[in-house]
């Protein structure tokens, strides 16, 4: 049984999950709360909160089998506590069933009545968790993939039905099942060495801070994101712009791709990072400062940061060698790393974000000089934001020619997903 050295790990887990329920990103909620825990407890709490979010659909189905009025009858706080209890029972071997049940029941008992708690709610929690622990949580309690693929991948696979349906229509059932499985794996951590562009995969449980110091200058970056940087580096070289090119990163923060591009010793690109959020640029500046230590990136003033919107970039038209639009997107290629994103999205999200992306691409097109390049990238799998976006851009901007398209699919690579296109500007469009 896990022995906790800090105060109230389950309380911290509940606080993180409540913030996520209110709409805050899981990674940000976790980063804010993790320092309040003893170091020895952080791994346990992180496993709990990420497991509950990732498998919310599966947990709710199992709970619903033992609740006469369904999960919708519960106050959100009580539902989260029950999810926590079920995840501890079914997936966290460090917690005996009796402890998972008793601790959850006590948390429900201590919850104020106006939040659904109290003695009666505690009795319900006790009965539901004990029955569920006895019945188990295996696939036999779910619709089968062969009999009802949408229900299976929605409930057992723990993904929204609308997303499962659109993926089945595009990829087929077998490929979608592989994608859902990939999204439900705990992602590996990779570093990109900024001077060489080499990728290093860390062993599970590695100390990331120590690894960053060992491979300095380096940053955490999934291979799918690194592949986008490599597309741009190849494009600059092919265009004869591989000697200190002037590059605008129009969706810069938190800075991974722009800093990776500037860090390549073969390019020595001069990057201006543009983002509308001052707070996000400050985080990028902190990362840049870290990378600038000990003779690394930043010592020769290769990166500048500007608060501005990508739709209206603050540059003279035709003045830059290249632009990178790493666009805001639905992020459906990163649901393993960001499991909460699957629950925040809705069916209208791809179209809404496609309009934002189009506006930023139009802004980027105007600042690239003749002979220069533009790279458009996303971490989504949705065609409205990828292939259709490219087609529309070429229709609006005939001065550009499509030179390369790259797509990484999580079910094929075991990494994040990404999409990138490389355009070259052939004339001034006049």
Q: Write out the catalytic residue numbers.
A: 379
Assess contact for 132 and 100: CB atoms under 8 A.
Answer: no
Other C-beta atoms closer than 10 Å to the C-beta of 203 total: 8
Phi then psi for residue 186, to 5 deg, are -75, 125
Contact 380, 419 (CB under 8 A): yes
Cis peptide before 187 (omega within 30 of 0): no
The tokens describing 162, both together, are: 């609308």
**Residue 366: how many CB atoms within 10 A of its CB?**
17
Cα separations (Å) of 49 from 28, 187, 214, 222, 402?
13, 15, 30, 22, 43
Measure the CA–CA gap between 43 and 27, rounded to whole angstroms: 14
d(CA 14, CA 35): 15
- For 300, which DSSP code? T
User: Which residue bears the tokens 């030179």?
Assistant: 403
Residue 329: exposed, middle, or buried by beta-carbon count in 10 A (0-12, 13-18, 19+)?
Answer: buried
Q: From CA 337, how far away is CA 327, in angstroms rounded?
A: 18
The candidate with the shortest Cα–Cα distance to 227, out of 326, 363, 304, 339, is 326
| DSSP per-residue letters across 213-243 | HHT-SEEE--HHHHHHHHHHHHHHHHTT--S
Which residue, 143, 126, 133, 211, is CA-closest to 177? 143
């Amino acid at each position: 049984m896990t022995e906790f050295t800090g105060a109230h790990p389950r309380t911290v887990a509940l606080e993180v999950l409540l913030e996520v329920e209110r709409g805050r990103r899981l990674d940000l909620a976790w980063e804010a709360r993790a320092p309040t825990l003893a170091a020895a407890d952080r791994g346990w709490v992180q496993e709990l909160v990420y497991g509950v979010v990732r498998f919310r659909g599966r947990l709710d189905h199992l709970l619903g089998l033992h609740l006469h009025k369904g999960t919708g009858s519960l106050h959100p706080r009580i539902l989260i506590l029950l999810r926590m209890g079920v995840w501890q029972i079914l997936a966290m071997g460090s917690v005996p069933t009796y402890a998972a049940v008793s601790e959850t029941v006590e948390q429900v008992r201590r919850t104020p009545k106006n939040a659904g708690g109290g003695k009666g709610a505690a009795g319900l929690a006790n009965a539901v968790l004990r029955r569920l622990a006895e019945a188990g949580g295996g696939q036999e309690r779910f619709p089968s993939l062969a009999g009802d693929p949408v229900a299976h991948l929605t409930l057992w696979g723990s993904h929204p039905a609308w997303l499962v349906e659109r993926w089945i229509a595009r990829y087929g059932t077998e490929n979608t099942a592989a994608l859902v499985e990939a999204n439900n794996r705990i992602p590996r951590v990779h570093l990109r060495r900024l001077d060489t562009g080499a990728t290093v995969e860390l062993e599970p449980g590695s100390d990331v801070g120590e690894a960053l110091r060992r491979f300095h200058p380096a940053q955490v970056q999934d291979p799918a994101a690194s592949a986008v940087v490599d597309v741009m580096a190849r494009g600059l070289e092919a265009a004869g712009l591989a000697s200190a090119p002037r590059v605008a990163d129009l969706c810069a923060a938190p800075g991974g791709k722009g800093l990776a591009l500037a860090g390549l010793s073969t390019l020595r690109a001069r990057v201006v990072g543009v983002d509308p959020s001052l707070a996000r640029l400050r985080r990028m500046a902190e990362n840049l400062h870290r990378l600038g230590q000990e003779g690394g990136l930043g010592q020769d003033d290769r990166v500048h940061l500007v608060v501005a919107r990508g739709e209206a970039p603050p540059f003279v038209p035709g003045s830059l060698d290249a632009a990178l639009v790493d666009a805001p997107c639905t992020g459906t290629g990163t649901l393993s790393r960001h499991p909460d994103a699957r629950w925040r999205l809705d069916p209208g999200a791809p179209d809404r974000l496609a309009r934002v992306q189009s506006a930023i691409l139009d802004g980027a097109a105007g600042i690239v000089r003749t002979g220069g390049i533009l790279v458009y990238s996303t971490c989504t799998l949705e065609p409205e934001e990828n292939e259709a976006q490219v087609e529309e851009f070429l229709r609006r901007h005939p001065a550009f020619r499509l030179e390369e398209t790259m797509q990484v699919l999580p079910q094929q690579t075991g990494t994040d997903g990404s999409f990138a296109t490389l355009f070259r500007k052939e004339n001034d469009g006049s």
